[in-house]
Amino acid sequence: MLGSFSAALVLGLPARFYVITTAMYQMLAQYPPRFPLAAAMGVSLFAVMFAMLFLYRRIVTAGSYATITGKAFRPRPMHVGKLRWILFGICAVYLFVAAILPILTVAFASLQKLAVGRPTWQSWTLDNYVTALSLDAVRSALWNSLLLGLGTATIGVLFMGLLSWIIYRSRIPGRGVIEYIVMFPQAVPRLVFAFGMLWAWLSFPFSIYGTLWLLLIAYLTVFLPLGVRTISSVLLQIDKSLEESAQMCGASWGYRLRSVTLPLLRPGVIAAWLLLFVASVRELGASILLTGPNAKAITPAIVEAWFSISTELTAAMALIQTLAVAVALALLFTFARRASQYGGE
Amino acid sequence: MVHDNASVTNPTTSLGDAHIEVKDLVVQYGQVTAVRGVSFAVRLGEQLTLLGPSGCGKTTTLRAIAGLEPPTSGEIVIGGVPVFSSAKRINVSAERRGLSMVFQSYAIWPHMTVFDNVAYGLRVRRLGARDIADKVRWALEMVQMGDFAQRSASKLSGGQQQRVALARAFVFSPSVLLFDEPLSNLDAKLRAEMRIELRELQHRVGITSVYVTHDLEEALAISDRIVVMRDGVIEQVGTPFEIYNFPRDAFVADFVGSANLIRGRHRPECGRDGLIALETPGGTLVYGTTHGRPVGADGVFSVRTIHLGLSREAPAAQANLWSVRIRRRVFQGDLTQYHVDWEDRQLVVRCTATDPLDEGEQAYLTVDPHRCVLLEAERTTA
């Protein structure tokens, strides 16, 4: 949570309530930008994160936290009697406040000319959607984000699948180190990471800054832990002997990969693809520093609209984005359910 | 030579009809040495079993032959062709060794039908569709799974999966079949059936095979020869009969079925009729056979619990007849196990339960001296 950024930015900034990431962003967004100070803040945040990561590893390695063991285990429902409805109520209220209410509010605001608590009949409109979809900036940002989502997800599953395979299945020396490096971006707040990238690429001879390529590279890096974990969790469920028996049948590496490993890995690859897609489309922390006039992404564009245009238009944009992500999520769940069973084909 | 360990003591000697030769095999994982200098040979068409407790290096040895585990040093020759040699820097990859393997976990591919599973090795070898169909049918008939060809592999029971795994392993006529504890995940009754089926199948197909198990009965039932391993080295090599009746040392005697060990000082002057006598610390003379092994000043006899006899009336035995008291009786179904007081220790006797003796009863204990087998001297401390 130390690295969290988007909520703090939108809710905290107008009230001048800063957290470390938003403060860093302020340093960089003002003119002239105060790079050294922002860098110092980033490094200190870095240090705290690593201390935490170290502590976490100490705790996890100290004891056994395995829940899945050789013995058959089945979760047993607990009887809570009359408490049942109270507990259900608490859950429902939480769900409502945390997830449904914000979306309803956004929808509510997006459908008005001027967002007020008690709108009259005439104030309802679809204009905001028309505007949002007709603005070139918004259209290109949404298009860019979907394109980046596709690119990140597609390149990501290939690249991260290969990394998972190297870490958990190959005999390549130094694969333990690779595992550590892969999990590295998890410890670094995305804003700090993007800041580092920004500086690094600015001083590079060829100009990649201000293009979608930079965003693609950034996404592929910050989502490395997500993709590798998703694919390796499926890879680890595939018993090694399934690949070995194909080898003993005389199949070459490529043939084995095609006929055994990939088909068995398919559910995991699909899940990883969709997760990467969704994560890329809604990414803010890294994108906000790396977008340029010709390379906008939808989430930074929404934040920009929030600070400079109107609440209603922002709401409409946010809802369009939410809808796009929701469609992807619906697909994810359909595939995830099918992923739990093989055969029957 | 009684013990077929020519290749153990002298690795350069190769058997004339050896199909697989393993010479000075060493396998290390980091700091751990799983196999420390193992040498043996498997004859053409022979079923050889690597037997030992878990962690003895038997599975590692098998996987090294398969090419799934890279050895640290040594040499593996299959059909006269070296597939691994640390000296010659040869390491043929597993898929090019022309072997086949049945895994402990069956390793049936859940996303394929039974037919596709069995056909896999044939498709790899680019056989024609008709040829494949014929061979798969033949292999499935062989393991009595002919009706299951179109069934999804994920919907089979454990025993059925193991049969499919077996069919998949021999359908493409490999030169060697490797088995890694293939029956250990089946229940006892099915295991006993499959044991006999495997033996019959092996005779019908006639493939050289190497089998790994920790189950003594399994090893005795299916093997032409057994290699007993412990801590990464070979303890003894021999036919099931030799291994069972003439264990070389205390470990094999104990691991290969329960045995009583009787220690004593050698009394050469008491020997007769080709038997030797050991005098226990309590002064009892026990007669036994050397089985051609040299006798030192002291010796240890291994006596199988099943070879000792108990009776109420004194039998007409010349030697090894003692009066004992029944200390404890444990009913085990087919057999009854007695613990009897003998000198200042107890001996374990197992016999059929027709006329049970009571605890505390006096009885006569006897054993045929030819069933008291001297262990090899330098190994008795183990």
Q: Which ipTM score applies to this complex?
A: 0.81
Two tokens, residue B323: 């009066």
Query: What percentage of residues in chain B have a pLDDT greater than 70?
Result: 94
User: 3-class DSSP state for residue A2?
Assistant: coil
Question: What's the order of all strands across the beta sheet hosting B73-78?
Answer: B32-43, B18-29, B73-78, B81-85, B90-91
Query: What percentage of residues in chain B have a pLDDT greater than 90?
Result: 52
Mean pLDDT over all residues of chain B? 87
Collect all residues of chain A within an 8 Å Cβ-Cβ radius of residue B110.
264, 342-343
Can you tell me the distance from the alpha carbon of A111 to that of A104, in angstroms, rounded to the nearest whole number?
11
Mean pLDDT over all residues of chain A? 81
For strands B208-213 and B225-230, give the pairing: unpaired
Mean pLDDT confidence for B326-351: 90
Type of residue at A181 = I
Residue for token pair 């994160």 = A49
Phi, psi of B51 (to 5 degrees): -120, 140
Predicted local distance difference test score (pLDDT) of residue B236: 93
- Reported as a single tens digit per residue, the pLDDT across B263-303 is 999 998 888 888 999 999 888 889 999 888 888 888 999 99
- pLDDT > 80? residue B181: yes
For strands B259-266 and B276-279, give the pairing: antiparallel
- pLDDT > 70? residue B254: yes
Q: CB A245 to CB B107 under 8 A?
A: yes
Q: CB B120 to CB A249 under 8 A?
A: yes
Two tokens, residue B282: 């309590």
Predicted local distance difference test score (pLDDT) of residue B168: 94
B312: nearest Cα among B369, B355, B371: B355
User: 3-class DSSP state for residue A92?
Assistant: helix
pLDDT band at B13 (very low <50, low <70, confident <90, very high): very low
Q: Does B28 touch chain A (CB under 8 A)?
A: no
B223 DSSP 8-state letter:
-
Helices (H) and strands (E) in chain B, counts: 9, 21
Two tokens, residue B52: 């030992």
For strands B298-304 and B373-374, give the pairing: antiparallel
Q: Does A94 touch chain B (CB under 8 A)?
A: no
What contacts B104, CB < 8 A, 6 or more positions away?
A: A241, B180, B181, B182, B184, B185
Can you tell me the distance from the alpha carbon of B46 to that of B19, in angstroms, rounded to the nearest whole number?
9
Chain A residue nearest residue B154, CA to CA? A343
Q: Are B305 and B335 in contact (CB under 8 A)?
A: no
Q: CB B110 to CB A343 under 8 A?
A: yes
pLDDT band at B4 (very low <50, low <70, confident <90, very high): very low
Looking at the complex, report in whole angstroms how far the Cα of residue A264 sits from the nearest Cα belonging to chain B: 7
Q: Are A221 and A185 in contact (CB under 8 A)?
A: yes
CA-to-CA separations, B311 to B290, B314, B357, in angstroms, rounded: 27, 7, 8
- pLDDT > 80? residue B16: no
Type of residue at B44 = L
Put simply, the chain B residues between 148 and 207 with a CB less than 8 A from any chain A CB are 152-155, 165, 168-169, 172, 178
Can you tell me the distance from the alpha carbon of B157 to that of B111, in angstroms, rounded to the nearest whole number?
16
B229: nearest Cα among B208, B249, B246: B249
In sequence order, which ranges of B103-146 are alpha helices (DSSP H)?
Answer: 114-124, 129-142
Predicted local distance difference test score (pLDDT) of residue B380: 43
Collect all residues of chain B within an 8 Å Cβ-Cβ radius of residue A239.
105, 107
- Reported as a single tens digit per residue, the pLDDT across B34-70 is 999 999 999 998 999 999 998 899 999 999 999 999 9
Can you tell me the distance from the alpha carbon of B339 to that of B326, in angstroms, rounded to the nearest whole number?
6
Q: Are B278 and B295 in contact (CB under 8 A)?
A: no
Predicted local distance difference test score (pLDDT) of residue A325: 81
Phi, psi of B260 (to 5 degrees): -95, 140
Helices (H) and strands (E) in chain A, counts: 17, 0
- pLDDT > 50? residue B165: yes
Can you tell me the distance from the alpha carbon of A141 to that of A297, in angstroms, rounded to the nearest whole number?
4
CA max distance for chain B: 77
In sequence order, which ranges of A127-239 are alpha helices (DSSP H)?
Answer: 127-134, 136-169, 175-187, 190-202, 212-222, 224-235
Question: With helix as H, strand as E and coil as C, how does B326-360 read?
Answer: EEEEEECCCEEEEEEEECCEEEEEEEECCCCCCCC
For strands B345-352 and B276-279, give the pairing: unpaired
Mean pLDDT confidence for B221-235: 93
Mean pLDDT confidence for B338-354: 88
Predicted local distance difference test score (pLDDT) of residue B189: 83
Per-residue burial over A8-38, b if 16 or more Cβ lie within 10 Å, else e, is: bbbeebeeeeebbbbebbbbbeeeeeeeeeb
For strands B225-230 and B233-238, give the pairing: antiparallel
Predicted local distance difference test score (pLDDT) of residue A62: 66
Question: What's the order of all strands across the beta sheet hosting B308-311?
Answer: B308-311, B362-367, B321-331, B335-342, B345-352
Predicted local distance difference test score (pLDDT) of residue B72: 94
Nearest to A248 among B101, B111, B153 (CB): B101
- pLDDT > 50? residue B220: yes
Residue for token pair 């988007």 = A6
Can you tell me the distance from the alpha carbon of B56 to that of A297, in angstroms, rounded to the nearest whole number?
60
Can you tell me the distance from the alpha carbon of A243 to that of A234, in angstroms, rounded to the nearest whole number?
14
Radius of gyration, alpha carbons of chain B = 24
Put simply, the chain B residues between 60 and 79 with a CB less than 8 A from any chain A CB are 66, 68, 70
Q: What is the pTM of this model?
A: 0.75
B50: nearest Cα among B215, B279, B254: B215
A299: nearest Cα among A312, A315, A316, A318: A318
Q: Are A52 and A60 in contact (CB under 8 A)?
A: no
Looking at the complex, report in whole angstroms how far the Cα of residue B222 sits from the nearest Cα belonging to chain A: 23
Task: Give yes or no for a cis peptide into A32 (omega within 30° of 0).
Answer: yes
- pLDDT > 70? residue B140: yes
A126: nearest Cα among A313, A260, A311, A340: A313
A4 DSSP 8-state letter:
-
For CA atoms B103, B109, B115, B121, give the dihedral sign: negative
A75 DSSP 8-state letter:
-
Residue A300: CA count within 13 A, CB half-sphere: 22
Looking at the complex, report in whole angstroms how far the Cα of residue A59 sits from the nearest Cα belonging to chain B: 26
Can you tell me the distance from the alpha carbon of B233 to that of B60, in angstroms, rounded to the nearest whole number?
12
Beta bridge partners, B311, equal: B364
Beta bridge partners, B310, equal: B365
Residue for token pair 């004891």 = A63
Angle ∠(B79,B81,B86) on CA atoms, nearest 5: 130
Put simply, the chain B residues between 212 and 271 with a CB less than 8 A from any chain A CB are none
Q: Are B197 and B186 in contact (CB under 8 A)?
A: no
Q: Are B228 and B52 in contact (CB under 8 A)?
A: yes
Q: Are A25 and A13 in contact (CB under 8 A)?
A: no
Predicted local distance difference test score (pLDDT) of residue B8: 40
Predicted local distance difference test score (pLDDT) of residue A106: 84
Which parts of chain A sit beneath pLDDT 70?
1-3, 57, 60-76, 332, 335-345
B135-140 — which CB contacts under 8 Å span 24+ positions?
B135/B171, B135/B172, B136/B167, B136/B171, B138/B171, B139/B167, B139/B168, B139/B170, B139/B171, B140/B114, B140/B115, B140/B164, B140/B167
For CA atoms B280, B284, B285, B286, give the dihedral sign: negative
- Reported as a single tens digit per residue, the pLDDT across A89-129 is 999 999 998 888 888 888 888 888 777 777 777 778 888 88
Pick from A172, A240, A244, A248 the residue to mutate for testing the B interface (most B CBs within 10 Å): A248
Radius of gyration, alpha carbons of chain A = 23
Collect all residues of chain B within an 8 Å Cβ-Cβ radius of residue A344.
152
- pLDDT > 60? residue B371: yes
